[in-house]
Amino acid sequence: MEIRFLFFILILSSIIFSGCIREYDNIVITSVDVMSSPQEDGTKLTITPYVQNNLNVDTGMLTLKIKIRDPSTNLIVAEKDSEIGYIKSGLSSSNSISLTVANPGEYGVEVQVFEGGKLRAQNFLPVTVKQKPVPGQPSDIKLMDLNLVVTKIYNDGSGALVDVSPGIYNQGGDSGPLTIEVTARVDPYTEYTKSDDIGIVKASERRRSKVTFDIPRNREYSFTVKAIEGGKTVISTNVIEKVKLNEVKYNTPMTYPLVEEGKPVATAKSPGFEAAIAVAGILLIYLTGRIRKTRRY
């Protein structure tokens, strides 16, 4: 029994000291946006990772490395590095890198963040590069990110005018008239909705919509953005974090990634939670062994 118990303690200690059981005290890639643009010599992919610093200290100089792989051979078909710079504690940053692939088809995008040569975060996502749109092809609308600016603070700081600008990209054929609807939600009973009729978005066109909210400043908001074409919602997205409006500085643009509803978020998995399950499983095995041994006697 002593040997088995010692074995259990060793496993538990290794999990704890390896850093599995801990809070989000790391640098993480919260989301990755990919936009494709047909070129004469292939398709340009513009890749925008959003990197968040969950450490209680500022980062050192960060480097972003992006590789595009052909899944059938695992060969790298394009790669590029870029400096992100420093990210202050609790804040996030984004940086775009453009690479070109020769042919349409399936690819894998590998995103890595390094600090002083040490890998701090990584993500991998599959990407489908489509043929160049042809006349009559249906639209394919993507909502990329959301820019937010507090343009006015009034009533002793309790109210604010806020400009919200979602980024739209059409990777299909020309769209019909589009309406962008933005909802700022406090709770299930309190929400504010604004819409912007932006008209037709042509193939491979990028555009920003804009709405203005007049809302209480001392609240925390969840933002939802929808694109509506011909009376039908073609895509619905959410900001992956709640926005504490009184922490947004006046006249300072903030950018938040948008994640399509129903798609996984990069930070959805909690290392601490998975480790807790592992420990619980080990403990269950150990206790089951003890119970069986007790029954034998």
- Tens digits of residue pLDDT in 9-20: 555 544 444 444
Which of 70, 102, 132 corresponds to the end of one domain?
132
On whether the CB atoms of residues 65 and 81 are closer than 8 A, the answer is yes
Q: Are residues 156 and 170 in the same domain?
A: yes
Tokens matching residue 291: 């119970």
> Which pLDDT does position 221 carry in this prediction?
97
Q: Do the Cβ atoms of 280 and 262 come closer than 8 Å?
A: no
Regions of the chain with pLDDT less than 70: 1-25, 263-297
User: Cα(166)–Cα(168) distance, rounded to whole angstroms?
Assistant: 6
Residue that is last in its domain, among 115, 132, 149: 132
Q: Please tell me whether residue 15 adopts helix, strand or coil conformation.
A: helix
- The domain in which residue 7 lies consists of 2-19+275-296
**Sign, CA torsion 238/244/247/251:** positive
Radius of gyration of the chain (CA): 24
Give residue 247's pLDDT: 92
Question: 169 with 142: CB under 8 angstroms?
Answer: yes
Pick from 110, 129, 108, 107: nearest CA to 38: 129
Which residues is 34 bridged to in the sheet? 47
pLDDT at 272: 37
Judgement on whether residues 34 and 72 belong to the same structural domain of the protein? yes
Q: Which residues pair with 121 in a beta bridge?
A: 113
Same domain, 265 and 193: yes
pTM: 0.64
Indicate whether 58 and 143 sit together in one domain.
no
Tell me how many domains the chain contains: 3
